[in-house]
Amino acid sequence: MKGYYQSPIGWIEVIGSEKGISGVSFTDAAEKESDCHPYIERCIQELDDYFKGEKPFFTVPIDGNGTVFQQKVWSEVNCIPFGQTASYSKIADKIGSPQASRAVGMANGKNKLGILIPCHRVIGKNSSLTGYAWETWRKQWLLNHEKKMLGERNHLNIAKRNSELKS
């Protein structure tokens, strides 16, 4: 099952199974017709909410496959807070393999659930934007988008809190 979503930074192909979403990636594919399936439709809606700045997280079930090491990496990548980044070496430390920065990068590159498992939040030790399967400019755009959304959310939360304090 496949679905397509036109994001501000290109078409995204969503692949699903009976268990959940198994692939989210940017595509140049000419085919843009989506299959009707609840997981595909839900993922497309959540992507739309994400790109509109309305929802900073995803709840659609995922059907991810990978080695034990890749699963550890992806689980840790999923813990990087929205709007923040972590280095490959920090991820390696967190999973108990401090010498495995390159292996973390390779596992990150095998992530088939881009954006849902936010591999774009993983950066080089010196804050460089390295290693993104769908081009570095998209990685930069996604990071900027999240920082902007985070700033707007913080502003709204502060304004809401201030109005509550005045009441």
* Residue 132 phi, psi dihedral angles, 5° rounding: -130, 120
d(CA 89, CA 123): 9
Here the tokens at position 65 are 């496959």
d(CA 106, CA 120): 13
Helix axes 68-77, 101-109, angle to 10 degrees: 90
d(CA 129, CA 21): 27
Collapse the DSSP code of 24 into the 3-class scheme (helix H, G, I; strand E, B; otherwise coil) and give the result: strand
Residue that is written with structure tokens 């969503």 in the block: 14
Closest by CA to 16, choosing from 54, 50, 42, 55, is: 42
Catalytic residues: 119
